[in-house]
Amino acid sequence: MAALGLDGWWDDPAYNQCDTVSLRAEFILAKLMQRDAEKFRAMMADLYRKLGPMPGHMTAFEWQTILAYMGANPAEIAEVLTRMGLSGQ
């Protein structure tokens, strides 16, 4: 299965300044958009037809759906959920 290559994300100075769930969510969504903007926009439009997501309030299921669609492997999905405080959901 394809992977996102999260290893460098967590050492990024921009991530290290993310001291809230909302900021971490925005950082991750920005990285996903950088990976494949067209695919990201299409997927987000399909998931959120009327309003965009509120990054700090996204559920574990929403994160799993987005990450899997963008090519994350199960270990990467689990890592992001843990960093977002959603690993037990």
Q: Return d(Cα 31, Cα 22) in angstroms, integer.
A: 14
Summarised one tens digit per residue, pLDDT across range 44-67 is: 888 877 666 677 778 899 899 889
Tell me whether residue 47 is in a domain. Answer: yes
Token pair listed for 86:
């959603």
87 vs 11, 27, 42, 44, CA distance in Å?
Answer: 21, 18, 26, 22
Tell me whether residue 36 is in a domain. Answer: yes
Q: What pLDDT is stored for residue 44 in this prediction?
A: 84
Q: What pLDDT is stored for residue 89 in this prediction?
A: 59
Tell me whether residue 49 is in a domain. Answer: yes
Q: What pLDDT is stored for residue 18 in this prediction?
A: 92
Nearest to 64, CA basis, from 76, 77, 52 = 77
The pTM for the full model equals: 0.62
Nearest to 29, CA basis, from 74, 84, 88, 85 = 84
Tell me whether residue 50 is in a domain. Answer: yes
Tell me whether residue 16 is in a domain. Answer: no
Name the residue range of residue 46's domain: 21-83
What is the tally of structural domains in the chain? 1
Parts of the chain with a pLDDT under 70: 1-2, 50-53, 88-89
Tell me whether residue 3 is in a domain. Answer: no
Element (H, E) at 32: helix 21-35
Tell me whether residue 52 is in a domain. Answer: yes
Q: What pLDDT is stored for residue 88 in this prediction?
A: 64
Taking each helix axis as running N to C, give the angle between helix 21-35 and helix 60-69, from 0 to 180 degrees, rounded to the nearest 10.
20
Tell me whether residue 4 is in a domain. Answer: no
